[in-house]
Amino acid sequence: MTLPSRARVVIIGGGVIGASVAYHLAHAGWTDVLLLERDRLTSGTTWHAAGLMTCFGSTSETNTGIRLYSRDLYARLEEETGQSTGFRPVGLIEAAADTDRLEEYRRVAAFQRHLGLEVEEISPREMAELFPLAKTDDLVAGFHVPGDGRVNPVDLTLALAKGARQLGVRVVEGVAVEDVLTRQRGAVSEVVGVRTSAGDVECDVVLNSTGMWARELAARSGLVVPNQAAEHYYLITDTIEGIDPNGPIFEDPASYGYYREEG
């Protein structure tokens, strides 16, 4: 695709956040949008994201609302775009290892039920029945959210990008943004465009959605984005006999671990 000379909005970064903003801007009527990805969509940090689509755990009405909206969107996005998102509502089990966490989760569950989330408290025995891989005899209880599940981050990003394209958003891969162009208006620095590896593009708004590189890009404009990449280890096993590949996600905060089917 030929790079346009101007767009109302330039989104830098073709991961799930950039694609989601492009999709939602388009649905809000902002279709003069250009998304630029220096390599391929999802090639940054999105491709190895956990892919957990879970609503349980927040006592923020806004946060819970966003999660519930996202879960609903991922379920219908495939039909809208014809592109799989990999969303599988296999359910979530959140383990409580002690009475303090149990009390906390009971408050969370009551709050989120009020906002429409289906969640039930279950016993260690019921947890073991739903997720046989877990050792549950040292757990106090669990909370089961049947509508939660997992998503494929790459497929989801491609579906969001396709949905944005269908409404007129331009998505260009293989073009790197080298700098954000500004001009001074008194004490205010105003965005006027971006400088890319394929030339300059005028714009009114720039969105920095470059993930772990957001701080580096922002620093070129004298801005501070307080993010930092951190190591996150995970283990992928071969197929384990007796484990249902469509079983629920299991989260145990006390052991700093989560468990889900890969793929």
pLDDT in 10s for each residue of the chain, 263 residues: 689 999 999 999 999 999 999 999 999 999 999 999 999 999 999 998 999 999 999 999 999 999 999 999 999 999 999 999 999 999 999 999 999 999 999 999 999 999 999 999 999 999 999 999 999 999 999 999 999 999 999 999 999 999 999 999 999 999 999 999 999 999 889 999 999 999 999 999 999 999 999 999 999 999 999 998 888 888 888 988 888 889 999 999 998 899 999 86
CB 23 within 8 A of CB 163: yes
Cα gap 21→157, rounded to integer Å: 11
Question: What dihedral angle (degrees, nearest 10) is formed by the CA atoms of 118, 121, 123, 125?
Answer: 10
Q: Is 186 exposed, middle or buried (0-12, 13-18, 19+ CB in 10 A)?
A: exposed
Cα gap 104→252, rounded to integer Å: 14
**Cβ-proximal residues to 69 (8 Å cutoff; 6+ apart), any chain:** none
Alpha helices in 28-115 (DSSP H): 61-81, 99-114
Cα gap 251→257, rounded to integer Å: 6
Alpha helices in the chain (DSSP H): 16-27, 61-81, 99-114, 124-130, 153-166, 214-219
Cα gap 153→159, rounded to integer Å: 10
Q: pTM of the full predicted structure?
A: 0.95
